Chains A and B, each alone.
Chain A
């Protein structure tokens, strides 16, 4: 899919996500809007995954470590054909397999159950190690939040990935500068990330995480540096695409009222023209 199509698809995914969160009356819409461009590029341009054979041993692995943005992942998986599109309307409903955090035992296409932060990267390191042991060409991608990088387990995994020279591993940090309660800068400011990751032995690139051309270029296999795990610091906006949510800490898990929903949908539709 070319970048123009990816942009249009990402817009459709934003709208479906907005509708799902509005109808469910809960969700993490801010972080979903910040990560949707990255997810769209991964699933429709990069990942070698097959909804008809979700357990293909040679598939690429993707881990959404910021599991609270599960709704965005569900919409992407539905668009890709892993689950029925119609099922999105069950999000958070009693007995739905689409709860607030992804579950691999119930939802095809999910690789590991996330929710507690700081879990996805260590698991992704294990996946990348498995591919190395088999001399297999499949790649592993993991998306974390920027606030999530405050979890010490990530830095254990960062050190291990470098030690094992996991150049088949790509970490994408969704750097929207906001965590649940405040700005990263006001809480425990790990930014800027490159000067922290590079000395560990990682190859780091910074991009605009909402510029589809930049995302696609950064995820290209040609960017792999032999012997080094790769980190893409994606500069994003929480609530991106919806004016009153964008870069606003209030919208971590706030739900729009009917008027706000209407305005948000109108803005997204206008952007799609």
Chain B
């Protein structure tokens, strides 16, 4: 199965983001893009060429980047505020809290190259805390699409959604997992594969890895359910409770620290409603060594083999 998967076309989800954004901007003159000198890395060159006045580049100034977004929203615009996720969230966290979430402004934060997408550039450029930081702030939706189709759907959703939302995008290639025409629903998980022995919950770049792991597990006679949980907040409590009750064990996988992210969010639901054995895979609370995103995910036990191995051990913990 791995050999076949290697030949599958991989998508840079930034392309789906900008194609959708340009289509939205064509329909609605209130759609604007705001960036921090990140025209190229946010793939906004096409947007700039088509809508030069509607691309606002504040320069390398993330606090002003987010503040300007809030002001544009106050003036009736629908700002897509784009920047490398590590700087967008880390450098301007207080602006996200006060100007966007607490002020309830209609700002769309687009975290580009999230997780460990910048790989070898090192932990300064990794964004493996953003779920935790933003989940701790009230009134902002947090979404990590798993592929090109879900990215496009989530961007369209964000434009129509009234209120603060953070979309966490990668630049690392992923295969298409969801069907063309897929509609994004905030707070709803997608059942990608059913199973009764264990549930793998993942989002972003981990969803396709979890699906591959499920294939490896099936070969060993373990039927794994796979839930794509793009929406970290609000989170699909019902799908998590159902998975806990029906499969008896949950393994989460994320390109994020295991402290405060998807795994923590799932664990909070499990603890409150349906305690079952769980394991959280992610960045284990250390600054990663040098390596590409895919290398580091493997390194931290999130290769399909690694996920399958952890899932197998988890199944053995079920009483």
Residue positions of A touching B, CB distance < 8 A:
57, 61, 103-105, 111-116, 118-119, 121-131, 133-134, 140, 152-153, 156-157, 159-160, 163-164
Given A105-B103, A119-B95, A133-B53, A111 and B67 contact (CB-CB distance below 8 Å):
no
Q: List 27 A-B contacts (CB under 8 A).
A: A103-B102, A104-B103, A105-B102, A111-B74, A115-B98, A116-B94, A119-B95, A121-B67, A122-B71, A125-B64, A125-B71, A126-B68, A126-B73, A126-B74, A126-B79, A127-B72, A128-B71, A129-B68, A129-B75, A130-B71, A130-B75, A130-B76, A134-B76, A140-B71, A153-B95, A157-B68, A164-B56
Inter-chain contact A153/B76, CB cutoff 8 Å: no
Given A105-B104, A115-B98, A119-B98, A129 and B61 contact (CB-CB distance below 8 Å):
no
Of the listed residues B70, B74, B102, B105, the one surrounded by the most CB atoms of chain A closer than 10 A to its CB is B74
Given A113-B103, A116-B98, A130-B76, A123 and B63 contact (CB-CB distance below 8 Å):
no
CB neighbours of B63 from chain A (8 A): 118, 122, 152-153, 156
B69 at the interface (CB under 8 A from A): yes
- Bound CA span A218–B59, Å: 30
Inter-chain contact B68/A125, CB cutoff 8 Å: yes
- Min Cβ gap A61→B in Å is 7
- Bound CA span A116–B97, Å: 10
Residue positions of B touching A, CB distance < 8 A:
32, 53-54, 56, 58-59, 61, 63-64, 66-77, 79, 94-95, 98-99, 102-105
- Bound CA span A125–B34, Å: 12
Q: Which residue of B lies closest to A110 (CB)?
A: B103
CB neighbours of B105 from chain A (8 A): 112
CB neighbours of B77 from chain A (8 A): 130, 133
CB neighbours of A126 from chain B (8 A): 67-75, 79
- Min Cβ gap A168→B in Å is 11
- Bound CA span A126–B94, Å: 17
Q: Which residue of A lies closest to B73 (CB)?
A: A126
- Bound CA span A163–B64, Å: 13
CB neighbours of B54 from chain A (8 A): 133
Inter-chain contact A113/B99, CB cutoff 8 Å: yes
Inter-chain contact A160/B64, CB cutoff 8 Å: yes
CB neighbours of B74 from chain A (8 A): 61, 111-112, 123, 126-127, 130
Contacts A126-B73, A153-B61 aside, 7 further interface pairs with beta carbons under 8 A come to: A105-B104, A123-B74, A129-B72, A129-B75, A133-B54, A133-B77, A159-B61
Inter-chain contact B103/A112, CB cutoff 8 Å: yes
- Min Cβ gap A62→B in Å is 11
Inter-chain contact A123/B70, CB cutoff 8 Å: yes
Of the listed residues B56, B64, B74, B104, the one surrounded by the most CB atoms of chain A closer than 10 A to its CB is B64
Give the interface SS of chain A, mostly helix, strand, loop or mixed.
helix
Inter-chain contact A129/B71, CB cutoff 8 Å: yes
4 A-B pairs with the lowest CB-CB distances in the bound complex, closest first? A126-B71, A130-B75, A122-B67, A156-B61
Of the listed residues B58, B71, B75, the one surrounded by the most CB atoms of chain A closer than 10 A to its CB is B71
Inter-chain contact B64/A130, CB cutoff 8 Å: no
Q: Which residue of A lies closest to B139 (CB)?
A: A105
Given A112-B74, A113-B98, A129-B75, A160 and B68 contact (CB-CB distance below 8 Å):
yes
Inter-chain contact A123/B53, CB cutoff 8 Å: no
Of the listed residues B53, B67, B73, B76, the one surrounded by the most CB atoms of chain A closer than 10 A to its CB is B67
- Min Cβ gap A107→B in Å is 12
CB neighbours of B73 from chain A (8 A): 126
- Bound CA span A57–B95, Å: 23
CB neighbours of A116 from chain B (8 A): 94, 98
Of the listed residues A113, A134, A157, the one surrounded by the most CB atoms of chain B closer than 10 A to its CB is A113
- Min Cβ gap A13→B in Å is 25
- Min Cβ gap B31→A in Å is 11
Inter-chain contact B71/A160, CB cutoff 8 Å: no
Inter-chain contact A129/B56, CB cutoff 8 Å: yes
Inter-chain contact B58/A160, CB cutoff 8 Å: yes
- Bound CA span A57–B79, Å: 16
- Bound CA span A119–B67, Å: 7
- Bound CA span A103–B59, Å: 29
Partner of A157, one of B64, B98, B102, B103: B64
Given A118-B63, A122-B67, A127 and B75 contact (CB-CB distance below 8 Å):
yes
Inter-chain contact B102/A113, CB cutoff 8 Å: yes
Inter-chain contact B58/A112, CB cutoff 8 Å: no
CB neighbours of A104 from chain B (8 A): 103-104
Q: Which residue of B lies closest to A152 (CB)?
A: B63
Inter-chain contact B75/A134, CB cutoff 8 Å: yes
CB neighbours of B67 from chain A (8 A): 119, 121-123, 125-126, 153, 157
- Bound CA span A126–B69, Å: 6
CB neighbours of B53 from chain A (8 A): 133
- Min Cβ gap B182→A in Å is 32
- Min Cβ gap B104→A in Å is 5
Given A105-B104, A122-B95, A112 and B32 contact (CB-CB distance below 8 Å):
no
Q: Which residue of B lies closest to A131 (CB)?
A: B75
Inter-chain contact A156/B98, CB cutoff 8 Å: no
